[in-house]
Amino acid sequence: MTEFSTLSIKETITSLKNKDFSVSELVDFHISSMENGRELNAFITETADIAREKASDCDQNYSKGEEKPLEGIPLGIKDMFCTKGVKTTASSKMLENFVPPYESTVTQNLWNDGAILLGKLNNDEFAMGSSNETSFFGEVKNPWKNNKDNFTVPGGSSGGSAASVAAGMGLASLGTDTGGSIRQPASFTGTVGLKPTYGRCSRWGIIAFASSLDQAGPITKTVKDCALLLNSICSYDPKDSTSSQKKIPDFEKSTDESVKGMKIGIPKEYEADGISEDITEYLEKGKEWLTESGAEIVEISLPHIKYALPCYYIIAPAEASSNLARYDGVKFTHRVDADNIIDMYEETRSQGFGDEVKRRIMIGTYVLSSGYYDAYYLKAQKVRAMISKDFKEAFKKVDVIYGPSTPSTAFELGDKKKDPLEMYLNDVFTVPVNLAGLPAMSVPVGLDKEKLPVGMQLIGNSFDEESILSIASCIEKSAKFDLNPNKWWINE
């Protein structure tokens, strides 16, 4: 039997064209991987029937030679994307039974290109979390156990998206990234994750968390696959007023570009404390790989970067408190009955939201409330301007900024659950990018002493995904990372 699980999207498409195997065989393999991997809890809803039906259509398209760019590729979709007729929960009790009457633009783009929905993936509730432990449907386990044989978190909020790809359940997945929710889990699971420039992808049909920060993006096994999915999901969408009309380049081409002469910035602020020794080692290794390939390393400064995290924890909860006001027991499936409407609202929200979501709604409500708005919310938006300016200055000197994706590798399940603030600190390297709306990705580079994957982050200038893809491709070739966790979840 073909070892489907080791193939990338690119290789799979070549094999499908050569008739080495059919889409139906491919899809059956991924359905059984998904079913055998239930212990990971990566999927909330499995859509095997939809996938099988679509697979036979795809096979016909191949036999007629009418295949589309992603024809027959099974993908998992984070449960933050509305999928028409398929339950979409945001991993919340509040939307436990919500069946969207419409399809999100980015997923529609994928289906138009021939991709197949394999299932809907678990995430932190309403995408609020960094470990996938806040989901109403339970925590997701990282396919990578540490060297003590203990379970680790897959990161979050796109934990299911990252875990499924690392475990070979689906060829790739879609996630969303508001403060690092694609890049941090990609880094924890040894996968490639990219957050496009704000405005590259439509937000229409994505359950809103923080609208000025949210972006959709792919999680894949390889850099080239990442570019292939990006080609499909990006589009101008009149239904999203912040959707860009800029020309969309061929991202796949960028993965073959030489990095010779490119300038790579390393922020001197990154050398501050708090990064694990192993990650620092890989940071140095990366510099060598890039220099050997003809890129030039330049020291830069992002003087206000240390304020990005507290700034984010004002802006994101503020936007969330407003976005989540719509869950009032009237329109979206969950309601707790009460005698009067105020009690109905309060009880519905009290029982429908989990602790972290409540915490963030409360922070957001507070920083927007009368008397505190200027001191918190307005102040944060000014700090955001300063951070954006830091990046603008840096990109006058360099093409790409290089550094760690996370301060540590995957931590053990339950380890940071008790202290919300400690959990927030995970996003220290990823959050600044969202505030400035820039594109960024995480690329796996190797394993640390605990036998857990390490990811490095590449940040690009606004609408320059191409440069980060070229650099990522160069790092991928040098690192030769093997995405092959020991499959402990399969009972032989």
Partner 1 sequence: MTIDSKLVERIAKLSRISLTETEIKNLSSELDNILNWIEQLSELDTEGINPVFSSFDEEETKYRNDKVNDGGYREDIISNAPLSEDGFFLVPKVVD
Window 212 to 231, contacts with partner 1 (CB under 8 A): 212
What is the total count of residues that contact partner 1 (CB under 8 A)?
71
In the bound complex, what is the minimum distance in angstroms from residue 43's beta carbon to partner 1? 22
361 binds partner 1 (CB under 8 A): yes
Burial class from Cβ neighbours inside 10 Å (0-12, 13-18, 19+) for residue 337 reads exposed
* Residues sharing a CB contact under 8 Å with residue 130, sequence separation 6 or more, in sequence order: 124, 155, 156, 157, 180, 181, 184, 423, 424, 426, 427
Binding track, positions 70-109, relative to partner 1; x by CB under 8 A:
---------------------------xxx-xx-------
Can you tell me which of 420, 451, 487, 489 binds partner 1, judged by CB under 8 A? 420
Applying CB under 8 A, the span of 73-81, 111-119, 270-278, 429-437 interacting with partner 1 comes to 429-437
In the bound complex, what is the minimum distance in angstroms from residue 4's beta carbon to partner 1? 37
322 is catalytic: no
Cα(144)–Cα(153) distance, integer angstroms = 9
Applying CB under 8 A, the span of 20-28, 111-119, 283-291, 419-427 interacting with partner 1 comes to 419-427
* Residues sharing a CB contact under 8 Å with residue 295, sequence separation 6 or more, in sequence order: 259, 260, 261, 262, 263, 264, 471, 474
407 binds partner 1 (CB under 8 A): no
In the bound complex, what is the minimum distance in angstroms from residue 211's beta carbon to partner 1? 8
- Contact (CB, 8 A) for 45 and 145: no
Can you tell me which of 195, 384, 416, 417 binds partner 1, judged by CB under 8 A? 384
Of 8, 130, 181, 405, the active-site residue reads 181
436 binds partner 1 (CB under 8 A): yes
In the bound complex, what is the minimum distance in angstroms from residue 386's beta carbon to partner 1? 6
Segment 311-340, which members bind partner 1 (CB under 8 A)? 311, 313-314, 321, 325, 328-335, 337-340
What is the residue whose two structure tokens read 């990234």? 177
245 binds partner 1 (CB under 8 A): yes
* Residue whose CB is less far from partner 1, 284 or 339: 339
Q: Residues in the chain, how many? A: 492
Of 157, 158, 232, 408, the active-site residue reads 157
Segment 443-462, which members bind partner 1 (CB under 8 A)? 462
344 binds partner 1 (CB under 8 A): yes
β-strand pairing of 263-267 with 400-404? parallel
* Residue whose CB is less far from partner 1, 385 or 490: 385
* Residue whose CB is less far from partner 1, 290 or 383: 383
Segment 462-481, which members bind partner 1 (CB under 8 A)? 462
The tokens for 63 are 């036999």
244 binds partner 1 (CB under 8 A): yes
* Residue whose CB is less far from partner 1, 253 or 382: 382
Would you call the peptide bond into 56 cis, given omega within 30 degrees of 0 as the criterion? no
183 binds partner 1 (CB under 8 A): no
In the bound complex, what is the minimum distance in angstroms from residue 393's beta carbon to partner 1? 15
In the bound complex, what is the minimum distance in angstroms from residue 84's beta carbon to partner 1? 10
Segment 106-165, which members bind partner 1 (CB under 8 A)? none
In the bound complex, what is the minimum distance in angstroms from residue 131's beta carbon to partner 1? 17
247 binds partner 1 (CB under 8 A): no
The tokens for 342 are 């105020």
203 binds partner 1 (CB under 8 A): no
157 is catalytic: yes
Burial class from Cβ neighbours inside 10 Å (0-12, 13-18, 19+) for residue 288 reads exposed
Neighbours of 261 (CB within 10 A): 9
- Contact (CB, 8 A) for 433 and 193: no
181 is catalytic: yes
In the bound complex, what is the minimum distance in angstroms from residue 93's beta carbon to partner 1? 13
Can you tell me which of 52, 68, 287, 359 binds partner 1, judged by CB under 8 A? 359
Segment 290-309, which members bind partner 1 (CB under 8 A)? 304, 307
Of 10, 54, 78, 145, the active-site residue reads 78
* Residue whose CB is less far from partner 1, 48 or 386: 386
Dmax (CA) for the chain in angstroms is 71
Catalytically annotated residues: 78, 157, 181
